Structure 1
Amino acid sequence: MDLLNLFLVHTKLSVNDMIRLSGIPKSSVHRMIASLADMGLLHKDQDGQYELGLLFLQFGNLVAERLDIRHVAAAEMQRLRDEIGEAVHLAVRDGDSSMYIEKLDTDHPVRLFTKIGRRAPLYAGASSRILLAFMPEEEREEYLSEVELKPIGPGTIVSLAKLRETLAASRESGCSFSISELENYTAELCAPIFDHTGRMAAGLSIAGPEGRFGEDWRPELIRKVKQAAHEISLKLGYGGPPCGQ
């Protein structure tokens, strides 16, 4: 896994690259590469460099197909994107990070570049923070007691007191809003999705350039995102009231 994890940030690597980056002894790296290539997890190209094998595509498609929430949310995501004209994302928690598992892009010529699989720490950005806000309290407190708040964008919250205040406000209002927390001049608005047990399942967000999320029309955007998130929750068997009410 140490070798495979290198390919999360590198498209191709030579054997020497993997030895240098992993710190694993040369003989062990050679042995493991041979095994990974035999299993189809790594592929050697004509230049002698390695990349992830096609087996990952097969596994990736299976994981995507089995994430039922993507299929349940598809219609509401489409409706929301068509109504407001901004990119719509579906995010889930993965450890101490959030990750986009689905995205519908906007037709705007000026847009925010995001992609499925993008990760962010749970304290940064609206999608991440809504997941943190609605985590079970014990898990949330454990995370907050250990996390190191580092600036990512100019708007990243790096004060623990402010983060706690913002999380409480998100739980009360049923939404989270961020400006320039991960990238400059960008904004994101997110609402939680709950499953049949009442636990948070995902976050539904819209994102784009900051200028299109002004205070004049932000309340209407909030209403529409929360409504869409609630509709998805109902389809997952959630029986509670709309979040924030």
Structure 2
Amino acid sequence: MESKNKTVVKAMTLLNLFLTREKLSLNDMIELTGMPKTSVYRMVRSLEDMGFLDRDEDGMYALGLLFLQYGQLVSDRLDIRKIALPIMKKLRDEVDEAVHLIVREGDEAMYIEKIEGTHTVRLYTAIGRRSPLYAGACARSILTFLPREEREEYIKKTDLVPIASGTIRDKDELGRVLDESYRNGFTVSHSELEDYTSAIAAPIFNNKRQIAAGISIAGFEARFQNDRLPYLTERVRQAALEISRKLGF
């Protein structure tokens, strides 16, 4: 317990009370936790300000609507992983390259599933890794299919920091690449997140026709030459479409 942040522990102690109780008063929380009144008051006020707790006109507290948002995000992402995994395995077997599944996390993309390729030398990617939306085919497949206003606002406010030798650093070029990817329905990258690597990605849509995730195949540049790109592109697009249909698209 000593290694844990005491403020976080106290906040979780309060929130855990609501696992079995719909509503609680301030005095209820003080009695149930045995924490000092001033500590509970400050903590509850902070949780209310952040949206984790809601207070009604009678002064009773309940879990805030923010938890619905988090819960829906977790549910959606778990559903996507479950649905996508067998399709990802099939894709890996077809193309013999690593396959990644990513979702948007704010202004970043997060890898939530990965199927390794069969080659001895492997890419430096892992579940939980993050990358900016502008860099790499998989992340950019999400940026490409965001609503245009949202996409343009992202480009306007974002500094294009180089990650590898091929990272796009010019905003006009990024806009051009996004437009081309939108027309083509897929995204290609070379040496954007790691030198001498390439990736091809396609968007995954949900039942509301909104971008839900991105799927990519990735490997070393030598295996992504022009003569093989059409085959790889078709395979990843078909996989993305299959997942999208299972999500209700």
Counterpart secondary structure, 1:67: helix
Distance 1:103 1:164, change over 3 A: same
| Equivalent residue letter for 1:78 | K
| Counterpart pick for 1:205 among 202, 216, 219 | 216
| Counterpart pick for 1:69 among 71, 80, 94 | 80
| Counterpart pick for 1:95 among 88, 98, 106 | 106
Match of residue 166 from structure 2? 155
Match of residue 131 from structure 1? 142
| TM-score (norm. length: structure 2) | 0.71
Match of residue 178 from structure 1? 189
Counterpart secondary structure, 2:208: coil
| Equivalent residue letter for 1:233 | S
The CA deviation string for residues 100-153 of structure 1, in whole angstroms up to 9 with x for no partner, is 111111111122121001100011100111110001112111111111111110
| Equivalent residue letter for 1:151 | P
Distance in 2, Cα, partners of 1:153 & 1:185:
9
The CA deviation string for residues 8-62 of structure 1, in whole angstroms up to 9 with x for no partner, is xxxxxx89xxxxxxxxxxxxx7x548758989xxxxxxxxxxxxxxxxxxxxxx9
Distance 1:197 1:65, change over 3 A: closer
Equivalent residues, number: 193
Distance 1:33 1:137, change over 3 A: closer
Match of residue 51 from structure 1? none
In the alignment, is residue 187 of structure 1 matched against residue 198 of structure 2? Answer: yes
Distance 1:34 1:118, change over 3 A: closer
| Equivalent residue letter for 1:87 | A
Distance 1:37 1:93, change over 3 A: closer
| Equivalent residue letter for 1:194 | F
**RMSD between aligned residues:** 2.6
Distance in 2, Cα, partners of 1:100 & 1:34:
28
Match of residue 143 from structure 1? 154
| Counterpart pick for 2:129 among 103, 106, 118 | 118
Q: How far does residue 198 in structure 1 lie from its aligned partner after superposition?
A: 0.7
Counterpart secondary structure, 2:114: strand
Match of residue 43 from structure 1? none
Counterpart secondary structure, 2:124: coil
The CA deviation string for residues 198-225 of structure 1, in whole angstroms up to 9 with x for no partner, is 1111001011111111111011100000
Distance 1:113 1:173, change over 3 A: same
Distance in 2, Cα, partners of 1:227 & 1:37:
44
After the TM superposition, which segments of 4 or more aligned residues of structure 1 sit over 3 Å from their partners?
31-39, 62-66
Q: How far does residue 160 in structure 1 lie from its aligned partner after superposition?
A: 0.5
| TM-score (norm. length: structure 1) | 0.72
Say which one has the larger Rg. Answer: 2
